């Protein structure tokens, strides 16, 4: 579904990505793990077109999307979350999901006022899927950290997409919510969604991912089934210094 080939990205003197290559298969959960600062978020940023790529290519569903701007990437069907949750303080849970559902090639404002007949049902479905147990009129500013993570996930899920990219969906959440989010990711995959998941913690992806890539200093140092990665010496070494 997506092929990343030899992608380079420098920030001043720092090589955040140094020839990174990977593939995302349709209908699978692909995990990208690696120590802090290894370039995981930067890879998401270049894929989603918010950080310009220096070198390399990105193809999505057979199309070259390497230098496409972010709104065109989104329109191609790539939806993502951010490591730092991005929500509107004065917008309710309901409105966040409503806007996300009607995101397409039109402007945000126009979408906001456009209603679809099946929208209430779809909003309910998305909120049930993530298990955000709060009245839909609750403002984002009145949610706990964990609830914000869930709403951010709901927004990404609600946007029309064929690839869902999640940047550390369980960072900083309690063990119970961690299990809940794991269940959500499993449910999405079971419905046929394609997922590219960034995670710092190797253990989280072990019983979740179909395939794991390990990024270190901007390069993929290992790839394979979770159990193949677990005892890989290069991987353990990369994590030791973290």
- 48: exposed, middle or buried (C-beta count within 10 Å: 0-12, 13-18, 19+)? buried
Q: Does 41 bind Mg ion (CB under 5 A)?
A: yes
Nearest-approach distance from CB 134 to Mg ion, in angstroms: 27
Residue 34 interacts, among Mg ion, ligand ADP, none and using kind-specific CB cut-offs from 5 to 8 Å, with ligand ADP
Residue 225 interacts, among ligand ADP, Mg ion, none and using kind-specific CB cut-offs from 5 to 8 Å, with none
Nearer to ligand ADP, 127 or 229 (CB): 229
Q: Does 50 bind ligand ADP (CB under 6 A)?
A: no
Q: Does 81 bind ligand ADP (CB under 6 A)?
A: no
Nearest-approach distance from CB 40 to Mg ion, in angstroms: 5
Segment lying near Mg ion (by CB under 5 A), choices 36-44, 73-81, 131-139, 232-240: 36-44
Residue 146 interacts, among ligand ADP, Mg ion, none and using kind-specific CB cut-offs from 5 to 8 Å, with none
Calpha distance 92→72 (Å, rounded): 27
Calpha distance 174→172 (Å, rounded): 7
Q: Does 68 bind ligand ADP (CB under 6 A)?
A: no
Q: Does 147 bind ligand ADP (CB under 6 A)?
A: no
Nearest-approach distance from CB 118 to ligand ADP, in angstroms: 37
Q: Does 194 bind Mg ion (CB under 5 A)?
A: no
Contact string (CB under 6 A) for ligand ADP, positions 6-45, x = contact: -----x--x-x-----------------x-xxxxxxx---
Contact string (CB under 5 A) for Mg ion, positions 65-84, x = contact: ------------------x-
Calpha distance 94→115 (Å, rounded): 13
Nearest-approach distance from CB 33 to ligand ADP, in angstroms: 9
DSSP string covering the chain, please? -EEEEEEEEEETTEEEEEEEEEEE-TTSEEEEE--TTSSHHHHHHHHTTSS--SEEEEEETTEE-TT--HHHHHHHTEEE--SS----TTSBHHHHHHHHHT-SSS-HHHHHH---TTHHHHHHHHHHHHT--S-TT-BGGGS-HHHHHHHHHHHHHHS--SEEEEE-TTTT--HHHHHHHHHHHHHHHHTT-EEEEEES-HHHHHTT-SEEEEEETTEEEEEE-HHHHHT-HHHHHHHHT-
Binding site for ligand ADP (CB under 6 A): 11, 14, 16, 34, 36-42
Residues that bind Mg ion (CB under 5 A): 40-41, 83
């Amino acid at each position: 579904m997506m092929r990343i080939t030899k992608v380079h990205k420098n920030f001043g003197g720092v090589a955040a990505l140094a020839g990174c290559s990977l593939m995302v298969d349709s209908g699978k959960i692909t995990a990208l793990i690696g120590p802090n600062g290894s370039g995981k978020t930067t890879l998401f940023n270049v894929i989603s077109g918010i950080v310009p790529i220096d070198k390399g290519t990105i193809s999505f569903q057979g199309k070259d999307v390497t230098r496409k701007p972010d709104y065109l990437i989104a329109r191609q069907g790539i939806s993502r979350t951010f490591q730092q949750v991005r929500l509107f303080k004065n917008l309710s849970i309901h409105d966040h999901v409503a806007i996300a559902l009607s995101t397409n090639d039109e402007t945000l404002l126009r979408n906001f006022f456009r209603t679809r007949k099946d929208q209430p049902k779809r909003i309910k479905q998305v909120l049930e899927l993530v298990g955000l147990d709060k009245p839909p009129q609750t403002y984002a500013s009145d949610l706990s950290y964990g609830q914000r993570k869930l709403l951010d996930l709901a927004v990404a899920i609600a946007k029309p997409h064929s690839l869902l990219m999640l940047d550390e969906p369980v960072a900083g959440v309690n063990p119970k919510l961690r299990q809940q989010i794991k269940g959500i990711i499993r449910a999405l995959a079971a419905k046929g969604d394609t997922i590219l998941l960034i995670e710092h913690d190797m253990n989280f992806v072990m019983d979740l991912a179909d395939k794991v890539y390990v990024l270190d200093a901007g390069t993929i140092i290992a790839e394979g089934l979770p159990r193949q990665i677990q005892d890989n010496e290069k991987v353990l070494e990369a994590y030791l210094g973290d």
